[in-house]
Amino acid sequence: MNADIKEEKTEKGPEHGLELESKAGKRAAYYLDAKKLQKPALALIILGLLLLSTAFLGFFFDESWGSRGGGGHAIMLPSAELNSQSPADAGAGANGEDALPVYQAASSSSQAEMGMADSKSKFFAVYLFSYVFFMSLTIGCLFFVILQHLTRSQWSAALRRIPESFLPVFPFLALLSLPILFFGMSSLYHWTDAAAVETDVLLQAKAPYLNNTFFYLRFALYMLFFILISRFYYKKSVAQDTDGSHKHTRIMQKASPLATLFFALITTFFSLDMLMSLDPHWYSTIFGVYFFAGSMLGALSLIILVLLVLRVFGWLKQEVNKEHYHDLGKLLFTFNLFWSYIAFSQYMLIWYANIPETTLFFIKRLNGSWKEISILLLVGHVFIPILILVSRNVKRNLGSLGFFAFWIMLMHALDLYWIIMPNTDVLDVNIGFSDMLVFFGMAAMFFGVYILILCRHAIMPIKDPYLKNSLDFENA
């Protein structure tokens, strides 16, 4: 197949692809009913907006929203209380004290403002979590598409449109980042506080990188590159649907090494800026890879789940069969192993070196009810999927594969929650109804936009030169 593409310099060639267009009856089988789905999709987006704005108003005008439950927030705690929560052993105690300047800044303001600042920071933390979660899914989908072109994969042609249709969501996600950039910076990122930087040697040393101007500039660059790369891959693939030219496949394959390089840099720095700088004293050199591994897991689960949902409604039943699901399952298993490897590498080096700035990250997460979440991540994100997904039969059974895709997506969300939230809910996990509003509001908008995109073209790249091989694909 590949040789065909290279030799063929002219632009024509539907005879090499699958001649679906000629069979008028079959053609409809790859187009969702736009008229029927447009209204529910728009309704989803409006519902999402409503949920988000309800949560937003609730957090800003009703102080009780943010500070419900007994756990409370660290910025409200006097320093002695935080100390007493530290474990008895000497190393951790010292780290607990080290952590104090981070939270003391807020406790200097008056009590009335406190409740406000508190629920505000809680809102933005949950907002950031939801935002980064959906961003990570889209980032993973982008890499999945690039990877297929990089390796010239043929098996995936039949299902490539599913992740591809997530790519145009990037501009929408860029819009969703605006509330964080305009209102949330001071409540999320401690390093934006000039008074805190003045008394903090580490933050002063990091100031050339961690300052507002450079942050905004970098963020704009990330969004620009994400949108440009994703637009390129989306437009080319959709254009092939109409003209069937093999030129598109060739260009996408040629661009893939460069796209991979840019993708790696952008994703790494995106995760450093959005997540690692939440705790500006902390650093981990493997963090970018850790975020990337989680994103791929989220994206693979998402692809499997979207395919299964389409299958329930009778779409792509013949085209995407057990063999393709088996391969997606293999990737899911491998990336889960990869994530575990990276997560453990990050933990072990910090545990071994025992340097106060770095251990603080784990000490926070091994205290209070965060400890249970950490153990849940270890068991649910590492042991259970690896031990069970290793079986070929589990990956080939659509029911069990769907369950594990859902489970791993849940674990990926929990992993991001575990990274972001302990900076706000320092002592205890504190999930309330209002947090759900933010998350599900964003989810509704995300999938609403996705459905609108999916309606615009075929749900399978119908003139991809590899499609025939993909449909006939069989695992040896």
The site for another protein (CB under 8 A) is made up of 91, 344, 347-348, 351-352, 354, 390-392, 474, 476
Nearest distance from residue 351's CB to another protein, in Å?
5
Distance (Å, rounded) from C-alpha 309 to C-alpha 124?
A: 32
Q: Of 348 and 410, which has the nearer Cβ to another protein?
A: 348
Packing angle of the helix pair 287-312, 246-274 (nearest 10 deg):
130
Alpha helices in 90-110 (DSSP H): 90-107
Q: Of 347 and 407, which has the nearer Cβ to another protein?
A: 347
Nearest distance from residue 69's CB to another protein, in Å?
33
Nearest distance from residue 90's CB to another protein, in Å?
9
Nearest distance from residue 359's CB to another protein, in Å?
13
Q: Of 120 and 324, which has the nearer Cβ to another protein?
A: 324
Give yes or no for a contact between 46 and 36, defined as CB atoms under 8 angstroms apart: no
3-state secondary structure at position 102: helix
Q: What is the rounded end-to-end Cα distance, in angstroms, of the chain? A: 19
Q: Comparing C-alpha atoms, which of 330, 273, 264 is closest to residue 293? A: 264
Nearest distance from residue 336's CB to another protein, in Å?
14
3-state secondary structure at position 456: coil
Nearest distance from residue 474's CB to another protein, in Å?
6
Q: What is the dihedral of CA 331, 337, 343, 345, to 10 degrees?
A: -120
Q: Of 1 and 76, which has the nearer Cβ to another protein?
A: 1
- What DSSP string describes 278-337? GSTT---TTHHHHHHHHHHHHHHHHHHHHHHHHHHTTSSTTTS-HHHHHHHHHHHHHHHH
Q: How far is CA 424 from CA 68, 73, 98, 183, 428, in A?
A: 13, 6, 17, 16, 10
Q: How far is CA 95 from CA 70, 316, 347, in A?
A: 25, 55, 16
Q: Which residues contact 42 (CB under 8 A, 6 or more apart)?
A: 448, 452
3-state secondary structure at position 89: coil
- What DSSP string describes 201-253? HHHHHHTTTSSHHHHHHHHHHHHHHHHHHHHHHHHHHHHHHHH--HHHHHHHH
Q: Of 214 and 351, which has the nearer Cβ to another protein?
A: 351
Nearest distance from residue 386's CB to another protein, in Å?
11
Nearest distance from residue 348's CB to another protein, in Å?
6
Nearest distance from residue 366's CB to another protein, in Å?
12
Q: Of 34 and 394, which has the nearer Cβ to another protein?
A: 394
Q: Of 205 and 390, which has the nearer Cβ to another protein?
A: 390
- What DSSP string describes 4-19? HHHH--SS--TTTS--
Distance (Å, rounded) from C-alpha 198 to C-alpha 359?
A: 24
Q: Of 109 and 354, which has the nearer Cβ to another protein?
A: 354
Nearest distance from residue 349's CB to another protein, in Å?
10
Task: Determine which helix (DSSP H) or strand (DSSP E) holds 37, and give its type and residue range.
Answer: helix 34-61
Distance (Å, rounded) from C-alpha 274 to C-alpha 297?
A: 19
Q: Of 392 and 456, which has the nearer Cβ to another protein?
A: 392
Q: Of 61 and 344, which has the nearer Cβ to another protein?
A: 344
Tokens of 213: 């101007």
Nearest distance from residue 476's CB to another protein, in Å?
7
Q: Of 86 and 104, which has the nearer Cβ to another protein?
A: 86
